[in-house]
């Protein structure tokens, strides 16, 4: 039931809920994920699918795992793993992520990776204007499942239905539904998932009355610009059923969404005779969809359900436009000579209310464009720099009209903005200008993560003001002060060892603007950093048991160093460590006496010079607790057993030895001596069997 779909470069991820179990074919059973190899579909088949069943497991007496597992869309063409995410089946305020390795060949799935969110609550049924069916005629609020999930630039965006009060909080008395949305980070393997920001779209009111607007069935999408938009259903005791949308700009405060608007205007009631409702209300929604336009990576579309005629529903598709381009404001240089070929000008725009230039990059049919108005100018290329800068490359006809020109910039979605006055002057080609001269720059050598500072020197025979810049191909992180010519760069760990060519350019502001450039080499040396061994918790073992733990270490060096693990003398006899994996094992002898061993683990890299780190942990050998007495007095049972000081013990019981499991007696006991005790209360007709276990 409720198949969800996520797609990336390697596979399709289809999550489903499974219903039906012995004695009740309609009962919820578990969840399943199907991973479908994308290359098999694109090549015409046969279809190759891998099923991962029973994603929900029982852990410490609680069912846990993703309910309605949502396949995750990932727009990164270089993605190498896939994802599925869902709300935890038992715990509100928790999401469960699963990672799928090698999805395009032989997939494998991780265990549950849980992350906590702000509190959530099961949504309510939704009242609506014109309802004649009482509470049974309300609309189904569905449940708190996720409705869609997408990854952009390593961040996962998703949303769900929840019930809240008039302040948007869960708990207490809920009076309306809301849409909770999330931006999550740490999704890829080797990272820890966390909430970057989340928000709750709801109708606030002075008092917690139930006649307010409900928002539910919301899905969220984020564009290549970083703007986000949601579509959802809207209804209330005083409102007919409509479709709505809300958005947030990339620069809006975290956790906020702009004022929602309705994009339908229903004036009819919804009481379909073939759906009289029930405890869960009348069927509504279930699905909601908000997506990106594949032509421009900025326009969005949302598809939502609404009441379009008496007792009838429909879905309405609406286009959500991004803010327009930045308004062209100035050009650098501000003039170009008639007859100039391949002239380059940096166009600066003014941004307001989210406006900005944008280009989606390769793989899209629509791109940013610009026109120098007035004729005689042929645009060769427009390069996106950032939301307020474009680089224009164009040629000017020899007979082009001399004078000031306005410029129009057009974003990939077709929206455009024109400067309100002339910002680029076409001047006569008879104007004389001499180029500047940039002095040669000597090659440099430095260690990675050390500062390089070089001052470029230039002169101009015309005395024109000069502007310094770096040509394309400069290493990431390098920059130059446009006025002083001071170049700075601190090579990262990943950039050493290596050799880098850096080209410095100086340009005058003559007509036409002329330039000079010099290239120099920078050699970056590798510097070895010590590995870091993760802390190792102390261990408690029993005679006859096996202790196995895998030590982990990190090394910041790139290329990665090879790490080797070892043990210092003093480890218990028979203990071993795998030098490559760091896995420590010890089979505790059955006759091992109680005691404590201090074990020191070392990890060393193969850098030059070799560096290392070490950690010491304790292995405490304890004997199995033995119940020494059970005393019943006045309905109170006192259990006493052999113990070790400072160790934690748990008393468990069952009323019949044939029962399937033991029940914990509330409250663990920390022993303060060789004997520990615990009391239990019994009614006269009750019997119990007890056991004591050592808590690891």
Please tell me whether residues 300 and 266 are part of one structural domain: yes
DSSP 341: S
Alpha-carbon gap, residue 425 to 406, rounded angstroms: 9
At 178 the pLDDT is 98
> What is the C-alpha separation between 264 and 158, in angstroms, rounded?
24
Looking at the domain assignment, is residue 527 inside a domain?
Answer: no
pLDDT, position 432: 64
**Residue 568 pLDDT grade (very low, low, confident, very high; cuts 50, 70, 90):** very high
Q: Does the pLDDT value for residue 119 go beyond 70?
A: yes
Q: Are residues 227 and 313 in the same domain?
A: yes
- Percent of the chain surpassing pLDDT 90: 80
Tell me the residue range of the domain where 230 lies.
Answer: 118-322
Average pLDDT over residues 278-306: 95
Q: What is the DSSP string of 668-680?
A: -EE-SSSEEEEEE
Mean pLDDT of 134-138: 97
Residue 272 CA to its chain's centroid (Å): 41
**How remote is the C-alpha of 50 from its chain's centroid?**
25
CB atoms within 10 A of CB 97: 22
272 and 163 within one domain: yes
Residues 6+ apart with CB under 8 A from 606: 561, 562, 563, 564
Give me the pLDDT at residue 385, please: 96
Residue 433 has pLDDT above 80, yes or no: no
Q: Give a yes or no: residue 631 inside a domain.
A: yes
The total number of residues written for the chain in this structure: 696
Question: Is 31:18 a contact under the CB 8 Å cutoff?
Answer: yes
Verify that 572 and 603 share a domain, yes or no: yes
- The confidence band for 431, taking pLDDT boundaries of 50, 70 and 90, is low
Cα of 318 vs its chain's centroid, Å: 27
- Asked if residue 331 lies in contact with residue 357, where contact means CB atoms within 8 angstroms, the answer is no
For residue 22, pLDDT over 90 is answered with: no
pLDDT score for 597: 94
Nearest to 584 by CA among 549, 619, 608, 610: 549
Q: Quick one: average pLDDT of 562-576?
A: 94
CATH number at residue 648: 2.60.40
Residue 458 forms part of a structural domain: yes
Cα dihedral value 462, 467, 470, 476, nearest 10: 170
| pTM as predicted | 0.63
In a domain, 12, yes or no: yes
CATH number at residue 617: 2.60.40.10
Q: Are residues 630 and 614 located together in one domain of the fold?
A: no
Per residue in 623-646, pLDDT tens?
888 999 999 988 899 999 998 888
Say if residue 485's pLDDT is above 90: yes
Q: CB under 8 Å to 181, separation ≥6 — which residues?
A: 157, 158, 159, 198, 199, 200, 201, 218, 220, 228, 230, 257
Phi, psi of 34 (to 5 degrees): -105, 125
Domain assignment of residue 50, yes or no: yes
Instruction: Mark whether 450 and 591 lie in a shared domain.
Output: no
C-alpha–C-alpha distance, residues 173 and 165, integer Å:
6
* Residue 20: half-sphere exposure toward Cβ, Cα within 13 Å: 3
In the chain, how many domains are there?
6
From 116, 134, 160, the end of a domain falls on: 116
Average pLDDT over residues 576-588: 95
Instruction: Please give the order of strands across the beta sheet that includes 214-222.
Output: 214-222, 228-236, 239-248, 261-262
Q: What is the pLDDT of residues 83-110, one digit of tens each?
A: 999 999 999 999 999 999 999 999 999 9
Asked if residue 116 has a cis previous peptide bond (ω within 30° of 0), the answer is: no
Cα gap 375→397, rounded to integer Å: 9
Does the residue 649 lie in any domain?
yes
Read off the tokens for 644. Answer: 């070790």
Predicted local distance difference test score (pLDDT) of residue 468: 97
HSE-CB of 279 using CA atoms within 13 angstroms = 0
Q: So what's the pLDDT on residue 370? A: 98
Helix/strand/coil (H, E, C) string of 60-91?
A: CCEEECEEEEEECEECCCCCCEEEEEEEECCC
Contacts of 655 (CB under 8 A, 6+ apart): 686, 687, 688, 689
* Band of residue 334 on the pLDDT scale cut at 50, 70, 90: confident
141 burial via Cβ count (<10 Å: 0-12, 13-18, 19+): buried
Question: Coil, strand, or helix at residue 249?
Answer: coil
Final residue before a domain boundary, out of 427, 449, 482: 427
Structure tokens belonging to residue 177: 């539904």
Nearest CA to 345 out of 380, 317, 318 is that of: 380
- Quote the CA–CA distance of 290 and 305 in Å, as a whole number: 12
Spatial contact of 99 and 81, defined as CB atoms under 8 Å apart: yes
The whole-number pLDDT of residue 29 equals 92
Instruction: State the pLDDT at residue 694.
Output: 87
Task: Please indicate, yes or no, whether residues 282 and 337 belong to a single structural domain of this protein.
Answer: no
**Nearest Cα to Cα of residue 527 among 558, 573, 500, 568:** 558
Question: Cα separation of 541 and 624, whole Å?
Answer: 10
User: What CA–CA distance (Å, rounded) separates 634 from 679?
Assistant: 12
263 and 398 share one domain? no
Nearest-5° Cα angle at 263, 260 to 267? 110
Average pLDDT, the chain: 94
Tell me 493's DSSP state: G
At 137, give phi and psi (nearest 5°).
-90, 0
Residue-wise pLDDT for 260-280, tens only, equals: 999 999 999 999 999 999 999
- Same domain? For 168 and 237 the reply is yes
CB burial of residue 341 (10 Å; 0-12, 13-18, 19+): exposed
290 occurs within a structural domain:
yes
641 in Cβ contact with 665 (< 8 Å) = no
Residue 258 has pLDDT above 80, yes or no: yes
CA distance 241 to 269: 8
Give the contacts of 294 (CB within 8 A, at least 6 positions apart).
364
* pLDDT over threshold 80, residue 21: no
* Residues 189-243 pLDDT 10s: 999 999 999 999 999 999 999 999 999 999 999 999 999 999 999 999 999 999 9
Residues 345 and 213 placed together within one structural domain of the fold: no
Looking at the fold, whether 165 and 291 belong to one and the same domain comes out as: yes
Q: How far is CA 320 from the centre of its chain?
A: 23
pLDDT at 685 over 80: no
Backbone angles phi, psi at 655, to 5 degrees: -85, -20
Residue 253 resides in a domain: yes
Choose the final residue of a domain: 492, 522, 552.
522
- From the list 224, 226, 266, 273, the residue with the least C-alpha distance to 247 is 226
CB atoms within 10 A of CB 683: 6
Strands 239-248 and 261-262: antiparallel
Q: What pLDDT shows up at residue 473?
A: 85
| Residue 307 contacts residue 240 (beta carbons within 8 Å) | yes
* In 524-664, alpha helices (H): none
214 and 309 together in one domain = yes
2, exposed or middle or buried, with CB in 10 Å at 0-12, 13-18, 19+? middle
Q: What is d(CA 291, CA 308) in angstroms, rounded to the nearest whole number?
A: 23
Specify the range with the lowest mean pLDDT, choosing from 19-23, 140-144, 560-564. 19-23
Residue 430 pLDDT > 70, yes or no?
no
Side-chain half-sphere of 479: how many Cα atoms within 13 Å?
5
Does 512 sit behind a cis peptide bond, omega within 30 degrees of 0 on the bond before it? Answer: yes
Phi, psi dihedrals of residue 493, rounded to the nearest 5° = -55, -40
Is the pLDDT at 59 greater than 70? The verdict is: yes
């Amino acid at each position: 039931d409720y198949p969800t779909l996520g797609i990336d470069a390697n596979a399709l991820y289809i999550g489903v809920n499974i219903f039906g179990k012995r004695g009740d074919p309609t009962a919820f059973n578990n969840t399943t994920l199907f991973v479908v190899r994308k290359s098999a579909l694109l090549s015409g088949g046969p279809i190759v699918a891998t099923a991962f069943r029973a994603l929900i497991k029982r852990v410490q007496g609680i069912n846990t795992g993703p309910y309605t597992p949502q396949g995750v869309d990932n727009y990164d063409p270089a993605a190498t793993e896939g994802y599925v995410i869902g709300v935890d089946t038992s715990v509100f305020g928790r999401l469960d992520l699963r990672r799928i390795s090698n999805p395009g060949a032989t997939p494998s799935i991780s265990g549950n990776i849980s992350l906590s969110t702000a509190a959530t609550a099961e949504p309510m049924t939704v009242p609506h204007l014109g309802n004649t069916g009482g509470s049974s005629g309300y609309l189904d609020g569905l449940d708190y499942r996720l409705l869609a999930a997408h990854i952009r630039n390593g961040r996962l965006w998703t949303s769900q239905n929840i019930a809240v009060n008039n302040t948007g909080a869960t708990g207490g008395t809920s009076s309306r539904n809301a849409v909770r949305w999330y931006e999550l980070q740490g999704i890829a393997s080797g990272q820890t998932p966390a909430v970057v920001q989340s928000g709750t779209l709801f109708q606030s009111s002075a008092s917690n009355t139930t006649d307010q607007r409900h928002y539910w069935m919301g899905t969220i999408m984020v564009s290549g610009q970083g703007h986000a938009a949601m579509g959802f259903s809207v209804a209330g005791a005083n409102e007919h059923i409509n479709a709505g949308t809300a958005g947030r700009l990339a620069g809006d405060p975290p956790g906020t969404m702009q004022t929602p608007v309705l994009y339908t205007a229903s004036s009819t009631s919804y009481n379909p005779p073939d759906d009289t409702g029930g405890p869960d209300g009348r069927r509504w929604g279930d699905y909601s969809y908000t997506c990106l336009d594949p032509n421009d990576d900025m326009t969005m579309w949302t598809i939502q359900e609404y009441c379009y005629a008496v007792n009838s529903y429909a879905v309405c598709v609406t286009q959500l436009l991004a803010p327009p381009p930045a308004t062209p404001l100035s050009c650098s240089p501000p003039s170009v000579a008639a007859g100039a070929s391949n002239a380059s000008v940096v166009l600066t725009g003014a941004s307001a209310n989210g406006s900005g230039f944008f280009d989606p990059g390769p793989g899209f049919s629509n791109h940013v464009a610009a026109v120098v108005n007035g004729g005689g100018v042929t645009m060769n290329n427009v390069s996106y720099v950032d939301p307020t800068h474009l680089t224009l490359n164009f040629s000017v006809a020899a007979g082009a009209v001399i004078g000031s020109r306005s410029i129009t910039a057009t974003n990939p979605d077709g929206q455009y903005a024109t400067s309100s006055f002339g910002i680029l002057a076409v001047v006569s080609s008879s104007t004389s200008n001499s180029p500047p001269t940039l002095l040669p720059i000597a090659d440099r050598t430095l260690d990675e993560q050390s500062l390089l500072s070089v001052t470029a020197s230039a002169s101009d025979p015309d005395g024109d003001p000069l502007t310094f810049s770096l040509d394309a191909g400069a290493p990431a992180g390098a920059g130059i002060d446009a006025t002083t010519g001071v170049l700075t760069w601190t090579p990262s760990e990943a950039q050493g060892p290596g050799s880098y060519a850096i080209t410095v350019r100086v340009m005058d502001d003559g007509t036409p603007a002329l330039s000079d450039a010099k290239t120099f080499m920078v050699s970056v040396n590798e510097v070895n950093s010590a590995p870091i061994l993760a802390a190792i918790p102390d261990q408690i073992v029993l005679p006859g048991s096996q202790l196995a733990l895998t030590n982990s270490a990190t090394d910041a060096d790139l290329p990665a160093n090879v790490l080797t693990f070892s043990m210092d003398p003093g480890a218990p006899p028979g203990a071993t460590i795998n030098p490559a994996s760091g896995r420590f094992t010890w089979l505790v002898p059955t006759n091992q006496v109680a005691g404590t061993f201090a074990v020191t683990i070392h990890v060393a890299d193969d850098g030059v010079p070799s560096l290392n780190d070490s950690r010491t942990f304790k292995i405490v050998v304890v004997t199995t607790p033995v119940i020494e007495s059970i005393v019943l007095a006045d309905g109170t049972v006192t259990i006493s057993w052999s113990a070790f000081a400072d160790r934690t013990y748990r008393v468990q019981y069952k009323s019949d030895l044939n029962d399937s499991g033991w029940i914990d007696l509330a409250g663990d006991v920390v022993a303060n001596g060789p004997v520990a005790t615990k009391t239990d209360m019994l009614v006269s007709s009750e019997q119990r069997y007890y056991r004591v276990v050592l808590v690891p």
